[in-house]
């Protein structure tokens, strides 16, 4: 029946073909030093990834804040980059976190249950007190510590990637982060890399 109204036509959009994988896919594990941006370009007074890895065709899969250290994955494989960095895959990220003060079990349980941030509740996390990491390199510049306030190390594992999430989580329970090191992303681990050092691993999902 013709109602006199223009008929809307619906069409199925064709799925975009996925990009072909590179002939020689690479996955580089880098221990990003403190103060370095997670990108290859920046202003003259900024430190970047340029010169840290001897490849010009890899790009970060995810980010790590300038004032954070540790594991950064770089790849030339767009599909792998998406799987590592996209939130829907909920890849676990492990952090070693030096915090001001010593959290109580109740405070740690808040992290495990989820804490309220300004962009909503976090997903439940793993959180426990740990010893200082073995063979920990000195940070340059050193962490500013207050002699009158103790500090401790936490291991925190999350499956989200909000902006500065771990720092905001520890602040929410009253224990500001002094130093933040990412030790693992999924199955990939820092495992002995010193700041600025890198290694290649098979780019297998």
Q: Which CATH number covers residue 28?
A: 3.30.70.580
User: CATH number of the domain that 155 lies in?
Assistant: 3.30.70.1560
Residues 81 and 26 in one domain: yes
Q: Name the E strands within the chain.
A: 27-32, 59-60, 69-75, 93-100, 116-117, 120-121, 126-130, 151-158, 177-185, 188-189, 198-200
Residues 198 and 177 in one domain: no
Per-residue confidence (pLDDT) for residue 85, from 0 to 100: 85
3-state secondary structure of 83: helix
User: How many structural domains comprise the chain?
Assistant: 2
Q: Which burial class, exposed, middle or buried, applies to 134 when counting CB atoms under 10 A from its CB (0-12, 13-18, 19+)?
A: exposed
pLDDT tens sequence across 65-122 = 999 999 999 999 999 998 888 777 779 999 999 999 999 999 999 999 999 999 999 9
Residues 97 and 156 in one domain: yes
Whole-model pTM: value is 0.87
Active site residues per annotation: 65
3-state secondary structure of 78: helix
Residue 91 · residue 49 · CB < 8 Å: no
Residue 119 makes CB contacts below 8 A (sequence gap 6+) with 162
> φ and ψ at 169, to 5 degrees?
-65, -45
Task: Assess if residue 9 is contained within a domain.
Answer: no
Residue 105: which domain range?
92-185
Average pLDDT over residues 46-50: 95
Average pLDDT over residues 21-26: 87
């Amino acid at each position: 029946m013709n109602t006199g109204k223009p008929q809307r036509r619906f069409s199925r959009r064709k799925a975009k073909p996925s990009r072909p994988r590179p002939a020689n896919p690479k996955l580089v594990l880098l221990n990003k030093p403190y103060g370095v941006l997670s990108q290859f370009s920046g202003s003259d007074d900024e430190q970047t990834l340029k010169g840290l890895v001897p490849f010009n065709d890899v790009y970060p899969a995810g980010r790590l804040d300038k004032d954070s250290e540790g594991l950064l994955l770089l790849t030339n494989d767009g599909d792998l980059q998406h799987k590592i960095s996209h939130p829907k895959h909920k890849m676990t990220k492990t952090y070693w976190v030096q915090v001001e003060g010593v959290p109580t079990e109740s405070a740690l349980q808040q992290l495990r249950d989820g804490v309220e941030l300004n962009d909503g509740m976090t997903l439940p996390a793993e959180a426990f007190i740990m010893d200082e990491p073995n063979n920990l390199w000195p940070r340059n510049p050193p962490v500013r510590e207050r002699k009158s306030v103790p500090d401790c190390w936490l291991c925190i594992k999350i499956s989200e990637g909000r902006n500065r999430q771990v720092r905001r989580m520890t602040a929410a329970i009253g224990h500001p982060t002094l130093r933040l090191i990412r030790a693992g992303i999924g199955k990939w681990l820092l495992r002995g890399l010193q700041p600025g050092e890198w290694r290649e691993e098979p780019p297998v999902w």
